[in-house]
């Protein structure tokens, strides 16, 4: 019930639907003790496990194709060449920051030079 409440509070409709499906197909909902009832319970348990395996496969695929995973692979490939990709990226970023600052200072200097001799306030 706590999971249902969390999903409801988050407005997570897909999770609510998953929980409803799990509840309606739960083997524990069957009260009978006959061989047929036990067979249905086993079949439902198998289906539940198969669904969970499929969900885990989807999560693994999502992770394997994520940007962070792609970066990790690239770091490993470059590392095999004896290079440090993160250090290279940091150096590139530092260079870009220095260049941007220099451009900003140049623009500021041009503005100051243009304003030199101009009256900012009338006397």
pLDDT tens digits, 29-53:
767 778 887 888 888 889 889 999 9
Q: How far apart are CA 106 and CA 118, in angstroms?
A: 19
Q: CB atoms < 10 A from the CB of 28, how many?
A: 9
Q: How far apart are CA 41 and CA 16, in angstroms?
A: 23
**Per-residue model confidence as pLDDT tens digits over 70-94:** 999 999 999 999 999 999 999 999 9
Angle at 75 (CA atoms; ends 77, 60), nearest 5 degrees: 95
pTM of the full structure: 0.48
Q: How far apart are CA 23 and CA 13, in angstroms?
A: 15
- The highest-confidence range among 7-16, 23-32, 111-120, by mean pLDDT, is 7-16
Domain residues of the chain, as ranges?
2-49, 68-115
């Amino acid at each position: 019930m706590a999971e249902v409440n969390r999903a409801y509070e988050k407005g997570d409709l897909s999770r609510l639907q998953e929980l409803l499906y799990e509840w309606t197909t739960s083997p524990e909902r069957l009260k009978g003790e006959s061989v047929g009832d036990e067979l249905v319970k086993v079949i439902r348990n198998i289906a539940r496990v198969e669904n969970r395996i499929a969900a885990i496969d989807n999560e693994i695929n999502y992770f394997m194709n994520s940007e962070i995973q792609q970066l990790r692979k690239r770091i490993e490939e470059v590392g095999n060449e004896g290079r440090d990709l993160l250090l290279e990226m940091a150096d590139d970023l530092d260079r870009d920051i220095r260049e941007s600052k220099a451009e900003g200072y140049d623009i500021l200097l041009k503005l100051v030079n243009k304003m030199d001799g101009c009256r900012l306030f009338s006397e």
